[in-house]
Structure 1
């Protein structure tokens, strides 16, 4: 391919400003073009419009490869949706296709080649390109549709080249993602000086602009930056320069200003750019509908002092619940786009945050996620099967794409999938704290076979990853035997409202009622629950019989702090008695996260050996009883596990009680 007819302004003068039309004239047929943007935010709209116009007017450039991380459009034709015209694109490598439906349709119609790769992988591949590396090794995507054993991320039959390969290194499975060299990078900033130094003071996010610019520049390509304004040479502080002018070839000033909106629903909000801090008390309260019910139940899984990611849709309502319940100061909410802390924004502003603590580059945020930095993620789901596999990428005849879903769901310590039980026309009503299904959704979400595996329940179970599936009417959990129904909303009939609308029968061993507070339109007191402030109320002691009762019914161990808090509360209660005690533990509806079961059992053994004369546990769950028996027996303790409280009481009070002793 011939070299670019470069606009080498720096050889004669320093001013790199030009028009959008002049910049588009530099793009050649067959080039690989990357662009920035996240959902509806930080999109270089003028550059997309200018590229579309040049193709329609001149017929060139054509046969381009588009590389992008997240969706960048309004799903109605703006952003990368402008690039759908036949002949303009030859190939697309993207994390998300849903924001450009006509491009997605072209791929489904076999008119273009296409790959759907994890958003974080593409983000990190920009760095690999910039460093001249051949690609990226990652575990992200194993056992999903991105795994070459299940399609390699190809979206149609026309796409033949393998850009994802599997390898075994030191006995461990890895995926290798081939880097695609970048010829042209579209980036966006707020201010530029004539030398092309770019700052982002009014942007909500920084995304991958630096890595994209470096990837194109180091490949001998061109970097075109869209900005709001030109400022005097040297007026941008060096530490405020996000992309140095050495990487930038062309600077285009957005005109009219609507071409440089913060996002498609917000012209400009200084609270999102971090230029001011806004009061959170005045933020709108969510109405008590199905979305809020789901968000409220999901919020019970929030880990104090932990890092949390929230997906789009029902999950982003968790941020509003955290604010309503005054929980926000005790957790750190994040987005894959780079926002850390504050109150995460929803709607057109999704991905950004008001009163953020920090804004990281997107690729660095995915480093944090992939390395295990996330304590919890709450994500949406389109389909789920009996083994807990989730599809959020291709369903209902549409190619949506995985976005950051695969990176986030595979690497978060715990996962909550959140969404309505059925889709398409679902209507509910709340009457005196009871949930009633007024109109059932047309489409089932819990199906026999999902169209595409975006999350592997089997893989998650093999790694003891705690996973919940939260809907407005019930909650499931992932087990090594498939998904189990564990909670049902008040007013809901299991046969009529749940099983009748599933294509498989879930495990059902110990179903309890969802917390009644979720369905009442008043504060839930969530903070006390998350901090275990009332945990001591679950322990009572009868001195005359030297009997301690521990009520763990409906309680969950979701984080290490829960194990520590339970151990502390029980130890304090035992010490107050001044002697070893007989105890009965109610484990009905009690749940322990899979990856914390060993920690929990170490606490149980410690307390038994130090403070117990004899202890009986009871649970209606046969699986819980079996698991406790096996765990205690393996530690040379004789288990005393019963199905009912009466059996446990009789055993302890009877003369032949053997208890659990070392």
Structure 2
């Protein structure tokens, strides 16, 4: 094997041929090889090449806060097709990212594939197997009975998933797609191309992506902060071996993650004092997060997603319960404190960081105990939408790992506000609805099925919905209101604000009054079942 060449970003971009299938390792700003993507865009602007690329983004590439990622290459003629676990998103007031203009303008076929399945497709391509058989995504928008992962009409015309019968059961079948270029990122490369990840907040999936490309005769480009002497990296610190790497691009100023140049606690090099983590101010969102925390059990391994539930780890810190559960997130962190906002997807003080493909195997097989996730819409069958709002598509990033996580999870707690844009307050230990929301979130049928209520019932999953007004449970008969907030009128504020009938077979309990007062709630987590 020849040693990899150390190239400028522009020289590396020149290696990419027209019509290539390119896989990019990134999770928003985390691990994004932004310099190489920018160079591809510059080359196209100057020469019209490379043309007609298909790009694969197992989690996401770039964001709207300084790491453009896929937006560097979202150009007509350059990009011909895209498959992503999720996409850059941002506030409704912001100009949509260029990739969203291409998707919603039906300029290219675009697909939202569950992140774990996209990683599975890479492993199958690496081993030269025909594709992925899975039940992940059945009865959701992933299923060809619905959208088949398609994000627009052009994608609907070019299906990528089918339902097949195998061994007497129905399965979803994703054909392997063979990438010819991988663009990955690390912290350090030695002169032989060995890659280490000491400043990264997660490995993500570069090893799987590099294997898929190398085994099919393609080109692997690695963006790094620095190059060191051959043999100077510790053997066990090398995650991607140099035998898989063709070219190295040095980008000393690469961001660790979104709006974060470098925080050694994110990469596990130091531990932050617990006192350094801010706890959420007392407001309605905190009330919801506190009620979600009451669903936890001591000793649980708990997945956590974006939204209100992302504050639950801080509720545990505040209540003296940090460490009572172990947090697990799709970017790979196990334990520690999952971070918020721009750093979401990273954790400080993690016990371990697992490559994302293995974390998704853990999720797909339901090895964990429960998941705390958000919702945009809930319908009468208990289905949840987190992945699409037609009026503001770029505000939602897509499903990411949501479907891998929820497909077989034993317990799920969905949290969110009961209606959109309501004016809410807390006074004298009660919820006050000063102005009702403009948009109902409990709807007759969700716009996009990210989670299937009927499938959850059939599989015996335990599903809870927590809002500021009430707690609800999914049952075979429908959604049952089990608890109600103090100060809330059941008929006016709950039943009348749902587009479908909620069930109230017996008077709901009053939600814990301590939730609605600023003092600590005295959280005690029961032991998990044996």
TM-score in same-fold range (> 0.5): yes
Where is the helix percentage greater, Structure 1 or Structure 2?
Answer: 1
Larger radius of gyration: 1
Q: Which residue of 2 is the match for residue 213 of structure 1?
A: 210
Q: Give yes or no for contact 1:374–1:411 (8 Å, CA) kept in 2.
A: no
Q: Which residue of 1 is the match for residue 319 of structure 2?
A: 325
Report the secondary structure of 1:262's partner residue.
Answer: coil
Aligned mates of 1:286, 1:262 — CA distance in 2: 25
Asked if residue 508 in structure 1 is aligned to residue 477 in structure 2, the reply is no
Asked if residue 231 in structure 1 is aligned to residue 228 in structure 2, the reply is yes
Within a 5 Å distance, the mapping from 1:195-594 to structure 2 comes to: 195-255=192-252, 257=253, 260-397=254-391, 398=393, 400-424=397-421, 426-510=422-506, 511-527=508-524, 529-531=525-527, 560-561=529-530
Q: How far did residue 201 of structure 1 move?
A: 0.4
Q: Which residue of 2 is the match for residue 124 of structure 1?
A: 120
Q: Give yes or no for contact 1:418–1:470 (8 Å, CA) kept in 2.
A: yes
**Two-structure CA RMSD over aligned residues (Å):** 1.6
Q: How far did residue 185 of structure 1 move?
A: 0.7
Of 73, 87, 91, the residue aligned with 1:97 is 87
Aligned mates of 1:364, 1:183 — CA distance in 2: 23
Q: How far did residue 16 of structure 1 move?
A: 2.1
Aligned mates of 1:267, 1:449 — CA distance in 2: 43
Aligned mates of 1:15, 1:363 — CA distance in 2: 26
Per chain length, whose mean CA-contact separation is higher, i.e. which structure has more relative contact order (CA < 8 Å, sep 6+)? 2
Aligned mates of 1:175, 1:54 — CA distance in 2: 38
Q: How far did residue 101 of structure 1 move?
A: 3.7
Report the secondary structure of 1:377's partner residue.
Answer: strand
Q: How far did residue 169 of structure 1 move?
A: 2.9
Q: How far did residue 66 of structure 1 move?
A: 1.0
Deviations 1:346-366 (A, max 9, x none): 111111111111100000001
Q: Which residue of 1 is the match for residue 93 of structure 2?
A: none
The number of aligned residues is 518
Deviations 1:360-410 (A, max 9, x none): 000000111111212100111111111101111111331642111111111
Q: How far did residue 97 of structure 1 move?
A: 2.7
Q: Which residue of 2 is the match for residue 158 of structure 1?
A: 154
Q: Which residue of 1 is the match for residue 62 of structure 2?
A: 73
Aligned mates of 2:126, 2:4 — CA distance in 1: 25
Closer, same or farther: CA 75–201 of 1 in aligned 2, 3 Å: same
Q: How far did residue 15 of structure 1 move?
A: 5.4
Q: Give yes or no for contact 1:32–1:181 (8 Å, CA) kept in 2.
A: yes
Q: How far did residue 309 of structure 1 move?
A: 0.4
Q: Which residue of 1 is the match for residue 29 of structure 2?
A: 40
Q: Which residue of 1 is the match for residue 44 of structure 2?
A: 55
Q: Give yes or no for contact 1:18–1:251 (8 Å, CA) kept in 2.
A: yes
Closer, same or farther: CA 52–408 of 1 in aligned 2, 3 Å: same
Report the secondary structure of 1:429's partner residue.
Answer: strand
Q: How far did residue 430 of structure 1 move?
A: 1.1
Q: Give yes or no for contact 1:190–1:228 (8 Å, CA) kept in 2.
A: yes
Deviations 1:137-192 (A, max 9, x none): 11101111111122211222212233212123333322111111011111110011
| TM-score, length basis structure 2 | 0.95
Aligned mates of 1:492, 1:298 — CA distance in 2: 19
Aligned mates of 2:217, 2:13 — CA distance in 1: 17
Q: Give yes or no for contact 2:29–2:255 (8 Å, CA) kept in 1.
A: no
Q: Give yes or no for contact 1:378–1:418 (8 Å, CA) kept in 2.
A: yes
- Structure 1: give runs of 5+ residues left out of the alignment: 1-9, 532-558, 562-662
Aligned mates of 2:60, 2:492 — CA distance in 1: 39
Closer, same or farther: CA 40–498 of 1 in aligned 2, 3 Å: farther
Asked if residue 134 in structure 1 is aligned to residue 134 in structure 2, the reply is no
